[in-house]
Chains A and B, each alone.
Chain A
Amino acid sequence: MDDLKDVILEYVIAEYGDEDDKITYDTPLISGGLVDSFSMVSLKRFLEVKYKIAIPDADASPEAFDSVHKIAELVRRFTA
């Protein structure tokens, strides 16, 4: 069980998913059109609030937010 990834996955499903989406750790979020660049700002804010971190804009790229797996990696970099 990966707590960090599960927390992020649960949040993404609740906030950005719909009844037909089957979102997993590796589902493309940005390039797949589930989370647009504007909504990515609220996702980044969630991570910052939840994990009490500050993610610089330079690190908040569409690629870094493109899956729950990648987002978890990003968060780990700032919480380590």
Chain B
Amino acid sequence: MPAASPSRSPSWNNEARGSSVSNIGSFDERVRTFDWSIAERELEYTAGSGINIGWYCADRICAKGGAQKLALLWENAQGEEKRFTYDDVRVYSNAVGAFLRRLGVERGDRVCLFMDKVPELYIGAVGVLKIGAIAQPLFSAFGDESLHVRLENAGTSVIVTQRKHASKVRKILDRLPQLRHVVIVDHDGARALKEREVAFRMEAERVETLDLCPTTAESPSLLHYTSGTTGMPKGVQHVHYSLVSQYLTAKWVLDLTEKDIYWCTADPGWVTKTSYGIIAPWSLGVTQVVLDAGFSAEAWYRLIEKYRVTVWYSAPTAIRSLMKAGDELVKQFDLSSLRHLISVGEPLNAEAVVWSERVFGLAFHDSYWQTETGSIVISNYPGLPIKAGSMGKPFPGVTAGLLDVQTFEPITAPGVVGVIALRPDWPAMMRGYWQNEATYQAKFKNGWYMPGDRARLDREGYFWFVGRDDDVINTAGHLVSPFEVESALLEHPAVAESAVVSKPDPINMEVVKAFVALKPGFSPSDELELDIMNFIRKKLSPLAMPQAIEYVASLPKTRSGKIMRRLLHAKEWGEDLGDTSTIEND
């Protein structure tokens, strides 16, 4: 990874793509001849040499002549706009890295990025990776308790945030002695900085050189938190070698080329935005757009029209919200620049695929992966027929199958439901859960990694999603742990016990529902319901807030006292209650 020497090259532009041939070409041929060295060669990486994602996302593009190419087109709800070239990303990520080093951040330290979709988050992540620290992005809508458990678990030493989110950090500072600094990226001097807070303006200085940390393939890069059925959130550890997967999947599934204007609508607190909203597009030298605003169908279409977006990576919840906004709205905008649409986060229903084909003239391609897999593992591909409602086929180089839910033996017969299983040998696969080896090992059976989802296969080898294999709630593509919500509910003064399950939702696929038994002295009321909802929203996050609360006298339990969440889930989904012989009879 030599020092960068920026220069202009006519090849780094966004002229319309002249050919309709996709990057992947023949899917079957790719499967037959696949080797990850394809990506390694393109990235000019050789086994055993240095690899640093931060350098690949900025300095390498500049060194190859892309310094003046636009890397980021950003705007917010107030209409402010900013543009960053790859050279800007290079020097400002250097500035972030240099600043963090001055604060004492060293290789392997965890640096939390707790911000909205602001440029400091995207470029900041590159800076953190350049100095060999571990970037820990967290959803900026997290409440103080959600934030606390994740910072405490990771032993985070620095959090980078905005003024508007600093109050949440201040509330938990006393319980986080290891958190040395709170970096405020938009401090305006109107209020005095508080304990451990320090101001930093990313664009205040262009830092031309930075000693790059000599990271190698297995050096830790990112720590993403995800929720499970039981226990506290798990920190998913990734390494710099993940770049190889993220680069090639973006090229073959998202079909990105240097001529594209790309929009990944994911929130930066989640893995989609780091893998496919920072690492993949920038390592490919692609121009991407970011809209830092809440959802509005009109604003989304306007953005596509304004920036001539060509490749759009979104999520089923957003697509269903666009469907709800109606076909007429689509006709008010020139969306002819779009050429490839991809979806991720939850299963993409067939209706959404059919709708997008009708209104955009392009079908959304569903892709499947998760925080742990780090990159797309099953997908629909450009040039391969889409079966509306299907997850698609395994990415070349990824061995995926189904296992029997009881015996964990492979299933080959079409139509039989099993748990999805993956051979854990692609570059972006997680390397562990942070300080939680037992939970990590429990995810494997007979050499297979199990993501926790059930599916069936058809005769052509397409996967069809059936449902989760556990109690985790997938709401709008984000996983919510029922255990975490139940634990927080118990801290409400009126709640004696609770059970949390998913409830069907036409837009978000699932939402959180809580069954609540009250303490003596409290009576069910609409006011109490609202109070409980807001309590969870502020403590955990809006995603975790129960959208429905049902008061019950008591919860169904086994004779050993365990709450039978399964029964409540079946009731919500209109499913058969199954075996109820173990239920406790009062």
Contacts and interface: CB of A to CB of B under 8 A. Distances in A.
A18 B542 contact: no
Interface hub of B294, B295, B324, B511 (most chain A Cβ within 10 A): B294
A48 to B, nearest CB: 7
A21 B542 contact: no
A20 B187 CA distance: 11
A32 B530 contact: no
Nearest to B299: A31
Given A20-B164, A45-B533, A35 B545 contact: no
A46 B530 CA distance: 7
B527 A18 contact: no
Q: Interface residues of A toward B: which range?
A: 20 to 34
Nearest to B162: A20
A33 B116 contact: yes
Contacts of B543: 38
B534 A42 contact: yes
Contacts of A31: 77, 293-296, 299
Contact of B545 (A21, A30, A38): A38
A36 B534 contact: no
Contact of A18 (B167, B321, B324, B529): B167
Nearest to B541: A38
Interface in B520-556: 526-527, 529-530, 533-534, 537, 542-543, 545, 547
A18 B292 CA distance: 17
A19 interface: yes
Contacts, number: 80
Interface in B191-240: 191
A10 interface: no
Nearest to B536: A42
B141 interface: yes
Contacts of A74: none
A48 B78 CA distance: 30
B248 to A, nearest CB: 33
A49 B529 CA distance: 10
A30 B296 contact: yes
B163 interface: yes
A30 B294 contact: yes
A44 B295 CA distance: 17
Contacts of A19: 164, 167, 191
Interface string A42-70: 10011011000000000001110010000
A26 interface: no
Contacts of B77: 28, 31-33
A39 B476 CA distance: 13
Interface hub of B191, B299, B542 (most chain A Cβ within 10 A): B542
B61 to A, nearest CB: 30
A49 B293 contact: no
Given A15-B534, A42-B537, A45-B533, A37 B295 contact: yes
A34 interface: yes
Contact of A33 (B163, B191, B293): B293
A41 B292 contact: no
Contacts of B533: 41-42, 45
Contacts of B141: 36
A33 B292 contact: yes
Contacts of A29: 294
A20 B544 CA distance: 25
Nearest to B292: A33
A42 B10 CA distance: 52
A19 B190 CA distance: 12
A29 B293 CA distance: 10
A29 B78 CA distance: 12
Contacts of B507: 37
B545 A62 contact: no
Contacts of B164: 18-21
Contacts of B527: 49
A19 B530 CA distance: 23
A39 B537 CA distance: 7
A43 to B, nearest CB: 10
Contacts of A62: 294-296, 321
A41 B533 CA distance: 9
A45 B78 CA distance: 28
Given A32-B77, A41-B533, 11 more contacts: A18-B167, A20-B163, A20-B164, A30-B296, A31-B296, A32-B78, A33-B293, A38-B537, A38-B545, A49-B526, A62-B296
Interface of B: 77-78, 116, 141, 163-165, 167, 191, 292-296, 299, 321, 324, 475-476, 507-508, 511, 526-527, 529-530, 533-534, 537, 542-543, 545, 547
27 contacts: A18-B164, A19-B164, A19-B167, A28-B77, A28-B294, A29-B294, A31-B77, A31-B299, A32-B77, A32-B78, A32-B293, A33-B77, A33-B292, A34-B294, A35-B294, A36-B294, A36-B295, A37-B476, A37-B507, A37-B508, A38-B537, A38-B542, A39-B542, A42-B530, A42-B534, A49-B530, A63-B296
Listed from nearest, the 5 A-B pairs whose CB atoms lie closest are A38-B542, A31-B296, A33-B294, A32-B77, A49-B526
Interface of A: 15, 18-21, 28-39, 41-42, 45-46, 48-49, 61-63, 66
